[in-house]
Structure 1
Amino acid sequence: MSFYHVYQELKGLDLEGFLDSVTNKDVLRVLHKDVLNKEDFLKLLSPAAGENLEDLAQKAHRVTAQYFGKTIQLFDPIYISDYCVNHCTYCSFSVTNQFKRQQLTMEEIEREAKKIAGTGIKHVLILTGESRRHSSMSYMKDTVAVLRKYFESISIEINPLETEEYKELKEVGVDGVTVYQEVYNEDIYQDFHVKGPKRYYRYRLDTPERGCVAGFRSVNIGALLGLDNWRKEVFFTGMHADYLQTKYIGTEIGVSLPRIRPNLGSFSPRSKVNDKSFVQSLMALRLFLPRSAITLSTRESPDLRDHLIPLGVTRMSAGASTEVGGYSLEVEGTNQFEISDKRSVKDICKALYEKDYQPVFKDWNQL
Structure 2
Amino acid sequence: MGWLDRRRKPAQAVPQIQLRQPEKHPFGAWDGYVPLHSGETALYRSIREAVPIVDAAILKLIRLVGGVEVEAADPAARAGLRRFLSQVPTGRGQRGLESFLDCYLDSLLTCGRAVGEVVLDRRHREVAALLCANVADIEIREGESPLDFALCARQSGGEPVELPRQDLLLFTPFQPETDSPYGVSLLRSMPFLTGILLKIYQAIGMNWERMGNVRFAVVYKPGSDGMERAYAQERGMQIAREWSAAMQEGKQGSIRDFVAVGDVDIKVIGADNQVLDSEVPVRQILEELVARTGIPPFLLGLSWSSTERMSTQQADMMTSEITAIRRSLTPVVERICEIWLRVHGYETGVEVTWDNINLQDLVEEARAELYRQQSEKLRLEMEQAGAQDRQRKEGEP
Which TM class, normalised by the smaller chain length?
Answer: under 0.3
Q: Could you state the TM-score of these two structures normalised by the residue count of structure 2? A: 0.21
Please state which structure has a larger fraction of its residues in helix. 2
Q: Could you state the TM-score of these two structures normalised by the residue count of structure 1? A: 0.22
| Bigger RCO (CA 8 Å, 6+ sep) | 1
* Structure (1 or 2) with the larger CA radius of gyration: 2
